[in-house]
Amino acid sequence: MTESIVRMIKKYRELEILCVDHCEVTDDICSFIFRNFENTKLQFLNISWNQISGDCLDLIKEVLLLNQDMEKLAMQHNKFG
């Protein structure tokens, strides 16, 4: 599944909505998805209800910096502690 998400993100550079909520996303998966994230048109990112910890916050921050016009970010119910 993770590789499919990465291929889709790379193929659709104008992607506006990315929802990976309730997908059992761990820090490793988060890193794999967002490590080389280049999309700049995201309007909505949903990474809620996963297993992501504070270790991935820098990667998420980079996604936000690339997408400063993003309208909505959902990331509740993770392990940010």
| CA–CA separation, 52 and 78 (whole Å) | 5
pTM of the model: 0.90
d(CA 31, CA 55): 9
pLDDT tens for 1-38 read: 788 888 988 899 899 999 999 999 999 999 999 998 99
**Segments making up each domain of the chain, as ranges:** 2-74
- pLDDT tens track for 34-74: 998 999 999 999 999 999 999 999 999 999 999 999 999 99
Dist. CA 63–CA 37, nearest whole Å: 7
